[in-house]
Each structure stands twice: as C-alpha cells, then as structure tokens.
Amino acid sequence: MRVMTTWTVLPEPYDSPVAAALWRAYYTEVSDRWYLLREGRRTDPDELEREIARQPGADLAPPRGRLLVARYGGEPAGTAGVRLLDATTAELKRVFVHAAMRGKGGAPLLVRAAEDAARALGATRMVLDTRGDLVEARALYARLGYRETAPHNADPYAEHWFSRRLA
C-alpha cells in the first residue's frame, strides 16, 4: 500500500514560532550562500541575529500583507510572503522550501498560493527581486511566467527583478 503525502498552504501569523523558525532557516541559507560564494565563510552569528531581528516580517501581516506556510505531511516545510506596495502591486517575499522537501512541488504551490493572496488583497501585478546566485529561484520564477524587468527597488542585494500580471 502506498501512502500519499500531501502539501497544504495556509496563512500563518508572521510572528508565530513556525514562521520564526522558517524565517531563520531561510535567512541562514541565503546569507550563508552569499558569504560562502563571496568570502569563503558562513555568516557571522551576531550579524545573523541582528538581521533576523531587524526584519521580523510585520510587513507580511494583514491588512496589507500575508505570510503563507506550506506543510508537507503536516510538517512545516516552506514559506512565502506577500505585501502590497501600492493598490495594485504586490511584492513576493521569503519564498523558501527546506532543502529536504525540494523537488516535491512545494515551491510552485507556494508561489501560486501567494498570487492568490495578492489577488485577494486587490493586486493585479506581482513583483519580486532575487540574487544572481539563487539560480534555482530565477528558474522557478521563469517557469511560472515571471519576466525579468527593470528594478522596482534599491535593495543592495537584489540583482534580478521580475514581474507577472495576475489574471
């Protein structure tokens, strides 16, 4: 007998213990990747703690945002956030799936759920930014119909910007 494990994606308070653990995992991974590529070292623990505390995610809370958590077989496995930049433009943030859960369809599911959340907030367009070394993310966004655009922010770590109309 084969047991099917399924994904669920539901809103989560940005400051819940589950959201905090996923934010820490996400930030640790992307920060370590940055420093390992550029300086051959992992993120300084004090810097990691400062940056995690500096960006708690309050901008992903209602009424102008949403944080979504994906669970695989009931266990927290990933996250995506949406925040309104203006009345019709939402920004996709913090798309992350634990490494052990990658390749099981969670990332596209999270992005589509984030698009639905953005539509519910009134957005007709989604924008995002990412880095050049996050090649998997750039490939995911291209597969899902996002097109590279001019910068929409001045984030010092952003190297690629994408946009997609939400039908």
Question: Is 90 exceeded by the pLDDT of residue 27?
Answer: yes
Looking at 4-105, list the stretches that DSSP marks H as alpha helix, in order from N- to C-terminal side.
Answer: 17-39, 45-54
Contact 93, 157 (CB under 8 A): no
Tell me, what's the pLDDT at 5?
Answer: 77
Sheet (strand 65-72) strand order: 7-11, 65-72, 75-84, 89-97, 125-130, 160-165, 147-149
The pLDDT tens digits for 113-132 are 999 999 999 999 999 999 99
Backbone angles phi, psi at 138, to 5 degrees: -60, -40
Please measure the distance between the N-terminal and C-terminal CA atoms of the chain and give it in whole angstroms: 40
pLDDT in tens, 71-105: 999 999 999 999 999 999 999 999 999 999 999 99
Q: Count of CB atoms within 10 A of residue 29's CB? A: 15
With cut-offs at 50, 70 and 90, classify the pLDDT of residue 18. Answer: very high
